[in-house]
Amino acid sequence: MRPEQQGIEMAVLVSVGRHPITGRARRADQDARGLELALCLEGRLPGSRIGLLHAGPRSEESEAALRGYLGMAADAGTGLNTLTLLEQPEGSDAIPALADHLSAAMPQLVITGTRAELGEGSGLLPYALAERLGWPLVNGLAAVEKVENGVATLLQALPRGQRRRLQVRLPAIICVDAAAPAARQSAFGPARRGELEATPGAAELDHELAGWQVAPARKRPKRLKIIRAASARDRFKAAAAKAEGGSGQVLEGVSSEQGAEAIFTLLHEEGVLRS
């Protein structure tokens, strides 16, 4: 085996999610996709290691949800059967605890979800870690193509089903969202047998968050189509307007080459033609 083919050290940050309908605690969807990505990568790079990391309070409910992640590693044939739990009191800031742990453990690749399903859910955590650790960060990840010589080649998901290829120097933080491959099922037995390794984490209370007013989301008002017209005639015209525009350019009586030329210019200006 060539030395650069050797495996890498990965850390997957996982959180407790919430089922959108029943409201029960579960593994968070994006974090599970992150673990799926790590498991696939481990299969391709023999000798890799995955560390599962969660910072937060320990309760029966959250424990059941976190064990869901351990159940995913069941048939991967890996030694992944423990999850490191940085135990913190309720309402603490997870960032310092995670940053301390990561700077000590020094994984090469940290995989996180984009937004948490509970709490503030601002999606700031990966950015805060990247800033503290000074590592590059890539969001919206769709796939990891290869890892070689401390450089990872990634595919980033763009809107409209497009993909962009990026190269990142390791160590790096990558965030996955719904564009990453869906997570496999979690097996119950291995989830029960898995271990939660609890260590006390830094307990800094998030005072700012405590001062905010939090309420269940209100429905956002629907935007009305406002027609600013001074007269009834204008209002009627605006309401009855069918095909708006008319400002378009019409090429009539031109040869098909000239027509094609005009279309080509427009397509080129819009940048939809890839060479």
Partner 1 sequence: MSEMCRRDPRREWIARNRLHPEHASALAALGNIGGGGAASEWLGPSGVLRRNPHGVGFIGPNGVKRIDRSGAQQGGSAPGHGRQAVQQDRRRHVEISDPAFLVAVVPDLTGGRLSGHDKDLLGLARRLADDDPERPGAVLAVVFGEHKEERLGEAGIDRVLHLGAETYAGFAPEARLAALTAVERELAPRHWLLPDSPLGGADLGRRLAQRLGERPVTGVWQIEADVEAPLGWRCTARGAAERLDIRRPLPRVALALAECAEPVDETRHAAEPLSLGAAVPIALSRIEDLGQVAVDPAGVALAEAEFILSAGNGVKDWEGFHHAARVLGATEGASRVAVDDGFMARDRQVGASGTWVTARVYLAVGISGAIQHLQGIQGCDRVVAINLDPGCDMIKRADLAVIGDAAEILAALVAKVEQQRGGQRDAA
Residue ranges in 176-215 that form contacts with partner 1 under rule CB under 8 A: 177, 208, 211-215
Enumerate residues 246-265 that contact partner 1 by CB under 8 A. Answer: 246-254, 256-257, 259-264
Enumerate residues 125-154 that contact partner 1 by CB under 8 A. Answer: 127-128, 130-131, 136-140, 153
Q: Does 109 bind partner 1 (CB under 8 A)?
A: no
The continuous run of DSSP H or E covering 269 comes out as: helix 256-270
- Report the residue number, 104 or 214, with the smaller CB distance to partner 1: 214
Q: Which residues contact 6 (CB under 8 A, 6 or more apart)?
A: 45, 47
- Report the residue number, 77 or 211, with the smaller CB distance to partner 1: 211
The continuous run of DSSP H or E covering 41 comes out as: helix 29-44
Question: Within 10 A of 259 (CB to CB), how many other CB atoms are there?
Answer: 12
Enumerate residues 5-44 that contact partner 1 by CB under 8 A. Answer: 18, 20
Q: How far is the CB of 244 from partner 1 (least distance, A)?
A: 8
Nearest to 150 by CA among 164, 136, 163, 162: 136
Specify the stretch interacting with partner 1 by CB under 8 A; choose among 31-39, 56-64, 101-109, 169-177.
Answer: 169-177
Q: How far is the CB of 58 from partner 1 (least distance, A)?
A: 20
Q: Does 91 bind partner 1 (CB under 8 A)?
A: no
DSSP assigned state of 119: T
For partner 1, which residue of 105, 238, 239, 266 counts as binding (CB under 8 A)? 266
Question: What CA–CA distance (Å, rounded) separates 55 from 17?
Answer: 13
Q: Is residue 33 a contact partner of residue 21, using CB atoms and an 8 Å limit? A: no
The continuous run of DSSP H or E covering 128 comes out as: helix 125-133
Specify the stretch interacting with partner 1 by CB under 8 A; choose among 40-48, 55-63, 68-76, 240-248.
Answer: 240-248
Q: How far is the CB of 4 from partner 1 (least distance, A)?
A: 18
- Report the residue number, 44 or 164, with the smaller CB distance to partner 1: 164
Question: What CA–CA distance (Å, rounded) separates 79 from 93?
Answer: 30
- Token duo for residue 120: 């503030």
Cα radius of gyration (the chain): 25
For partner 1, which residue of 103, 167, 185, 199 counts as binding (CB under 8 A)? 167
